Amino acid sequence: MKKLLFTLCCLIFAIASFAQSNAHIKFMGIPLTGTIAQFQAKLVAKGCKYDKLTGSSVPNGTRAFKGTFVGNEVAIFVFYDTKTKIVYRAKAVVSGVSEDIAEQKYSKVKNLLSIKYGSDSEDMYVGTQDGKESVRFISANDEDEINGSIDLFITQDEESWIRAPYNYNLHIDYNDRINTNKHDNQQLDEI
């Protein structure tokens, strides 16, 4: 009887652990999970196109796309583990806008993220980056298990005179908790 009870408890624990560990944050409605080939196919199905030119200049483990995100033409960067090919992060960048436009788009996206993920102090962290407000939203499932985070911030080109006054960029950066941890742990194993 004790063995049966012990086995049953272990089974319940395993099922509960499995159920919680399957929660992934979504980028454009696509869970940040699976291989880069699978994720790319889903992005292409949503109308995004592989950006060969930008793709040739980004580091290994990153793929570049062009697409539309929240009504804006964006560059999309998808980050994946080079060994397992599992996606762990995706980022949309609205590039080459004026400071005023960047701040307007920042406010719009921040409001949309606040509606979706909440604006409680537990769900949102406000800070600064390059002298501008930045915000991090925490995504959690119904059991308050954290799925990942979304960072929203504005940057200015290093060589600001080249595109001035259109030298501001809005970043919307999604990080999946589970796959980012796996990627980081894999890199730690190599050290």
pTM: 0.81
For 134-191, how does the pLDDT look when each residue is reduced to its tens digit (9 = 90+)?
888 888 876 667 889 999 999 998 876 677 788 899 999 999 999 998 888 877 777 7
* Domain range list for the chain: 2-190
| pLDDT of 126 | 79
DSSP letter assigned to residue 86: B
Task: Calculate the alpha carbon distances from 187 to 115, 126, 180, 181 in Å.
Answer: 35, 29, 11, 10
| pLDDT of 78 | 98
Residue with tokens 């060994």: 83
Average pLDDT over all residues of the chain: 84
- In three-state secondary structure terms, 23 is coil
CA 24 to chain centre: 10
